[in-house]
Amino acid sequence: MKRYLLLLLLFTTLSGYAQNTINNYKYVLVPEQYSFFKEAHQYGLNNLTKILLEEKGFTVYFDNKDLPTELANNKCKALNANVTEKKGMFTTTLRLILKDCQGNVIFKGKEGKSREKEFNASYNEALRNAFVSLNELPYTFTAEAGKVESVKAVEVGVAPPNQPPVVAAAVESTEPSGTLYAQATANGFQLIDTTPKKVMTLFKTSVQDCFIADNGQSKGVVLKKDGKWFFEYYNNDKLISEGLLIKF
């Protein structure tokens, strides 16, 4: 009887390892337009998806851009991200879904909701809330998708090879050019210079010291790191981090 229980336990363990999880993937592909929008990058939602996935530790690309050779030759090395919307009269509800190259759902997050009246703030807040369930899930890249043999080897005492570290996105940084003064609005703040002229709009999020930002030319996030403020956004797939000196 004990023998059969041991065999059943071993089979169950190996079967569990054989299932793909987010830990099997280093890359994620993000579409430039979601099906419920009429325009690409509407409300900055696709860029924000890319940023949040990179903060989780993935290496992220837009699906119609030039890809590294490793990924271009085998897109099954990447998960495909999608965001779906549940229609509501007064609430914006979004859900994050990650699928493999065969369309199998690897991760389906909980609904993220927002009751903000302004569309830009509402969609961005709902997306951040949709990422909460993903952020609660531990992630460490351990093996390429489909390579179950290396995981089974651990069961018989063979140490797996060291995996290359996940490389963060390259950042182009600039120093603050002048003091900006924050004026409170219904959904956050507007930043004005000494002219005075409005140079940026900040929208509140559920995260402290993190705002959705729009300077009229670029959309991104304003966040506080090591006691300093930065405006981070993407320009031609390059992450830009502009230092800001803000007086609240």
Domains of the chain and any CATH numbers: 19-155 (3.40.50), 171-247 (no CATH)
Structure tokens at 148: 């179950």
Helix axes 119-130, 45-56, angle to 10 degrees: 30
78-107 pLDDT, tens digit each: 999 999 999 888 899 999 999 998 899 999
Q: What is the pLDDT of residue 223?
A: 93
Q: Which of 244, 184, 195 lies closest to 215 in space, CA to CA?
A: 244
Q: What is the pLDDT of residue 72?
A: 85
Cα–Cα distances in angstroms (integers) from residue 160 to residues 68, 151, 152, 233, in the given order = 25, 8, 10, 37
166 CB-side CA count, 13 A:
20
Whether pTM exceeds 0.75 = no
Q: What is the pLDDT of residue 12?
A: 39
- Other beta carbons less than 10 A from residue 123's beta carbon: 26
Q: What is the pLDDT of residue 168?
A: 56
Q: What is the pLDDT of residue 142?
A: 82
Residue ranges for the chain with pLDDT beneath 50: 1-19, 145-160
For 29-56, give the secondary structure using H, E and C.
EECCCCCCCCCCCHHHHHHHHHHHHHHH
Structure tokens at 31: 């579409």
Q: What is the pLDDT of residue 2?
A: 42
